[in-house]
Structure 1
Amino acid sequence: MRIKWFSFIRIAGLLSVLTYHFFQNSYPGGFIGVDIFFTFSGFLITALMIDEFAKTRHFKLIKFYQRRFNRIVPPLLLAILVVMPFTYLVSPDYVTGIGKQIAAAMGFTTNYFEIATGGSYESKFIPHLFVHTWSLAVEMHFYILWGLIVACVVRWMHKSNGDKKGMVVSFRAIIASISLVFALVSVILMGLRSFNLTDYSAVYFSSLTHCFPFFVGAVTASFTGIATVPKRFQQALSRARFLPTIVSLVVAFVFLVMLGFVMHFDSQETYLGGILLASLITAFAIVKARTLHNLTPNINEPKWATFIADISYSMYLYHWPLFVIFSQRMNTISAVIMTIIIGVPFSALSYYIIEPLLAGKQPRDIKNTALLKPIKTGLTAGGVILLVIAVVVVKTAPNLTQLDQKLWISSLYQARDNMTTSKTVIQADIKQQQAAKDKHKQSATIPKGVSIIGDSVTAGTRDYLQKNVADSTVDAAGERTMQLAYDVMMRAQANHLLRENVVLSIGTNALAGTNEQLEKLIYDLKPGHRLILVTPYDGRADETWNSSKLAKFERTLPQKYNFITIADWQNMARKHPEVFEGTDGVHFAGRHEGDVIYAQTVNDGLKEAAKTPVKK
């Protein structure tokens, strides 16, 4: 039984996700489209389970898993195979570790693969082509768990020898209770784990913390349904009126669109109730769409809506990798158009032809059975060719991106320099001890030159900096915050290794309270030093981001402290957008042009600093 108007729930989820991925800065909360899908899936699957139990008093677990496998796996495999030839259009960086990504996608463990590898849903230098399959992993985990639970409930009910007539009512009540408990536990876990985080990806990816939309849908199904409807909801349907119902449905969609504009992935409010609110609004929309179905017996759902809903799952699979690839070769609008031009036909092919054939059914849109054999032959040949290409791509894929290679090499140099520093400190201690024995005082002099303390941006250009910033040492590491930079500076200062000019290039990992940490760093910097602050740049950031707030704050400091100078990397980087094409908007992918302008920014800051006094 197909419920009219449910297609618009699927369309709302698809458009939300696509808009978010295509125009993330303009529609920052569009990731709730996944939660629309989750809630609808939980409703649909549970409603069908109730229908099956009401009709047969049984639930066939193996058949359930088989249906889920046939619906999910073939489109996923086809999408992976189709995407592989397009990877030749971009840098090998984009297929780094692609074999592991494919294995995680096909094994429905992408969410935990991303957590284990430190993946971020929003911020990644080279985005994984199949990172979006994290949602399939959570969905599959739900199907496996929920199928087992429902099967156990049915078996227990048969053993309890309950009233045959009341079994369906009892079944609904049990399903509703279990769903509600699971939903509450998951919501609470998400809220608790969201505290004291700077990147919420692990909470967002986890099946434990992000499964509650499915159970919100399951609770909704328990009180409503598809073919089998409880008496109370049947009474509600009989009292419903067309105009209030359709207005309520439209209002629900409007609220979901508004949430997409106001919610942010990196905001704790999203995890303390934002995602839950999106799921509850979706559940409300599902009930209203189900009601509208009964109120419109003589009105058919538009064919275009049915078509989009049919291909929504496959289109979700294609859109992300294709957009990532095309966006490296053309502007955003062109990339979106190409993604749709290629994604829609393959999605339709998957849903209307390939999936029925693999399930042993005749595609309903192929009336001439004589065409089936050549179609099968052509699809098989095409599949073999795509499989060969995919194997070649996986075999030849690099293990590290160019940036990762640079950071790895930088870390080796950093380790070497740390050993040299340790040797210098030991030698200095020996000299001080000898001076003490001779009863001579040795004053701690501040060495001339430049100490550069930075994060991953600095680490990526470390070698070039040391060669092109005179008399400098570089201490840089990925994920370095202001507090960690403070610790590095204090150690160098305590060991008399901090040079006269201190260049601080920290801020892309700015946390709440970074301004206060910087003030503490300034206060604890000993006299005799100058401080050059390199403003952070993030091409994705607006004025509300911590990095943007830090840059604005840093520009006010020279007015307050005469020993502070600004090396304005933020403004310099904005003048050279070509350096960041195809990157995360923070790093410049090891491009020589980026090395040059970054070093130039630091040197310009040092020239200005030379005109200022040291700290008194």
Structure 2
Amino acid sequence: MRIKWFSLIRITGLICVLLYHFFQMRYTGGFIGVDIFFTFSGYLITALALDEFSRKKSFALRDFYYRRVMRILPPLVLMICLVMPFTLLVGQDYITDLTRQVTSALSFSTNIFEIKTGGTYESRFIPHLFVHTWSLAIEVQFYLVWGFVIYLLAKFTPTLAQLRKRVFVSSGLLACGSALAMYLGAQQMNEFSPIYFSSVTHIFPFFIGSMLGAIAGIKELLPAFSQTVAKHWTKKRALIFMAANLLGLFVLAYFLRFDRRETYMYGFIGASLLAAGAIFGANVLHRKTPDTKEPQLFVYLADISYSVYLFHWPLYVIFSKQFSNGLAALLTTILSVGFASFSYYFLEPLLRGKPVSLFNQTLTFKQILAPFGICLTLGVSFVIYLCLQAPTVSSLERNLMLGSIAQDAGKLEQLYAKATAPKVEPKATNEAKTQIPAGTTIIGDSVTLGSRSYLLDHMSDVDIDAEGNRTMNLAYDVLMNQQNSGQLRQNVVMCIGTNSLDDYQEQTQKVIDDLKPGHRLIFITPHDGHADSSYNSYKLGVWERTLPAKYKFITIGDWDKVARAHPELFEGTDGTHFGGREEAMKLYLECIQDALQRAQKTPVKK
């Protein structure tokens, strides 16, 4: 039995995800499309399991797992094999750590892989081709656990009514536990990818769907639900209710942000509840429109939605580095729809033993076995070949590691020189306080770290302390340590802000207030080519530009303005880092040197 209008739920989830990936700066919360899919899957799986128990008085766990594997695995394997040739269009950085990426995708453990490797869902320098299979991993993990739970409940429950109650209560407890874990986790973290990827904290949408599935199933309905629908719900009311929830999802997806704490505390559970409301409305509308046919376009898009989701991300990652964003999105959509249609309407039915009609001829799997085997062998062989050729780290990671090693080696040399230098006793106990060292101290993040060697080669009398993912509060600690030890030089350059937290003003003000007299302070505005006015890094740059009018000892080096005037230097990057490109490093150096020259005309802090 197919419920009409459920197609709109799947289509809404797919549209949200596509808009988010294609136009992330404008549609910042489209990632909740995954939560729509999660909620719908939890509903559907539970409702179908209850229908099966109603017919057979049992739940066949082995058959359940087999159906899930046959629905999930073939499109996944097809996606990996078909996507791999497109990687020849881009550099080897895009297949970095490919073996573990493919292995994680096929073993449904991408979410665990991303957590362990420190993956960030919104990372854009060299995004993993298969990072989107994190959601598939959580889904399969849900099927494994929840399928077994339903099997045990069904085995020891005599009636459907009792099973409904036990499923509802179990789902509610698990949903509350998972949602609470995400809520508490969000309060303790500033980088939210670990709780986003975790099945423990992000599995509650499935159980919200399961709770609904226990009440409003597919064929077998809770009597109270049937009576309520019959007495109080009209076609118009059901339509308005479904539409209102779908509209709520689009509105929520427009305003949510991945890096906002409120998204994890309230946003995801709000999205799941809206999705459940839309599912409920569609279920009622189906029963109120027995003579209405669902548009075939809706059915088609819903059928291929899973495979489109699989194909679109790696194709977009590749095409977006070769073409304009609009063209990349168009090519991605066309190929994803084509590949997904082939998978759903041709390959998957044949693998399940169903004949397929093609050009007025009926094909069976036996007839295509030989060419299918050859194509699969070639595809798998090519994937293995690429895995063997793939680098273990990207050029950016290599550049940052080398910069970090060189920085650590320099610090060790300084410590050795200090330890072995002859001690000089002060001439008098009332000798004046130690003078502030001349020159420049640069405190930076990963952008500075990647350019560190180049800066040292082209600047004199400078110390550089840089580290990846450094925020202003961490830079403040470095500043205070150097200041207290007498190592902080007269000109202090803060190249911080790309990783900017919500309290960026307070953090920066601490730097200004606690810097001792005798120093000049230079802020280099952060640049993120993908950031708009809603990003903290962008807001920090705007605020920093106002500081020289208030503080005469502060100078601004406007790297964001300079970088935005030269977008060609960031082609093929995340829009923030420039991967050791000499032209970009030269521009970065000139921005810092220009700011230092202007700073020499300003007074030091009094």
TM over 0.5, yes or no? yes
The match for 2:283 is 290
The match for 1:460 is 450
The match for 1:535 is 525
- Given that 1:425 and 1:495 are in contact with CA atoms closer than 8 Å, whether structure 2 keeps it comes out as no
Match status 1:260 vs 2:257: no
1:607 positional shift: 0.9
Match status 1:49 vs 2:39: no
1:215 positional shift: 0.6
The match for 2:544 is 554
C-alpha separation between the residues in 2 aligned to 1:425 and 1:508?
34
1:508 positional shift: 1.1
C-alpha separation between the residues in 1 aligned to 2:25 and 2:133?
22
**Further displaced range: 382-391 or 129-138:** 382-391
C-alpha separation between the residues in 2 aligned to 1:583 and 1:537?
13
Question: Which runs of 5 or more structure 1 residues have no equivalent in the other structure?
Answer: none
- Given that 2:187 and 2:261 are in contact with CA atoms closer than 8 Å, whether structure 1 keeps it comes out as yes
The match for 1:566 is 556
- Given that 1:352 and 1:364 are in contact with CA atoms closer than 8 Å, whether structure 2 keeps it comes out as no
SS in 1 for 2:304: helix
**Further displaced range: 267-276 or 49-58:** 267-276
- Given that 2:471 and 2:499 are in contact with CA atoms closer than 8 Å, whether structure 1 keeps it comes out as yes
1:357 positional shift: 2.0
The match for 2:468 is 478
1:26 positional shift: 1.2
Match status 1:89 vs 2:89: yes
Match status 1:316 vs 2:309: yes
1:364 positional shift: 5.8
1:236 to 228, 231, 240: 228
2:299 to 294, 302, 306: 306
* Residue correspondence of structure 1 range 99-138 to structure 2 within 5 A: 99-138=99-138
C-alpha separation between the residues in 2 aligned to 1:421 and 1:523?
29
**Further displaced range: 270-279 or 552-561:** 552-561
- Given that 1:535 and 1:567 are in contact with CA atoms closer than 8 Å, whether structure 2 keeps it comes out as yes
- Given that 1:7 and 1:305 are in contact with CA atoms closer than 8 Å, whether structure 2 keeps it comes out as yes
Letter in 2 for 1:435: P
1:261 positional shift: 0.9
Pair 1:372–1:511, CA change in 2 (3 A): closer
- Given that 1:357 and 1:363 are in contact with CA atoms closer than 8 Å, whether structure 2 keeps it comes out as yes
The match for 1:523 is 513
The match for 1:413 is 406
1:186 to 167, 178, 181: 178
- Residues 501-526 of structure 1 deviation map (CA, whole Å, 9 limit, x = unaligned): 22111111122333223222223323
The match for 1:201 is 193
The match for 1:35 is 35
1:217 to 209, 212, 221: 209
The match for 1:349 is 342
- Residues 195-217 of structure 1 deviation map (CA, whole Å, 9 limit, x = unaligned): 14222111111101111111111
| Identity between Structure 1 and Structure 2 (%) | 46
Pair 1:370–1:443, CA change in 2 (3 A): closer
The match for 2:268 is 275
The match for 2:592 is 602
SS in 2 for 1:504: strand
TM-score normalized with structure 1 length: 0.95
- Residues 28-70 of structure 1 deviation map (CA, whole Å, 9 limit, x = unaligned): 1111111110111001000010000000000111111111111
Letter in 1 for 2:10: R
- Residues 197-245 of structure 1 deviation map (CA, whole Å, 9 limit, x = unaligned): 2221111111011111111111101111111112112223323322222
- Given that 2:353 and 2:365 are in contact with CA atoms closer than 8 Å, whether structure 1 keeps it comes out as no
Letter in 2 for 1:214: F
C-alpha separation between the residues in 2 aligned to 1:389 and 1:371?
27
- Given that 2:351 and 2:365 are in contact with CA atoms closer than 8 Å, whether structure 1 keeps it comes out as no
- Given that 2:354 and 2:364 are in contact with CA atoms closer than 8 Å, whether structure 1 keeps it comes out as no
TM-score normalized with structure 2 length: 0.96
Match status 1:245 vs 2:241: no
SS in 1 for 2:443: strand
SS in 1 for 2:426: helix
SS in 1 for 2:532: coil
- Given that 2:355 and 2:363 are in contact with CA atoms closer than 8 Å, whether structure 1 keeps it comes out as no
**Further displaced range: 119-128 or 182-191:** 119-128
Question: Which runs of 5 or more structure 2 residues have no equivalent in the other structure?
Answer: none
Match status 1:334 vs 2:327: yes
C-alpha separation between the residues in 1 aligned to 2:236 and 2:477?
64
Match status 1:435 vs 2:426: yes
C-alpha separation between the residues in 1 aligned to 2:42 and 2:87?
34
1:425 positional shift: 4.1
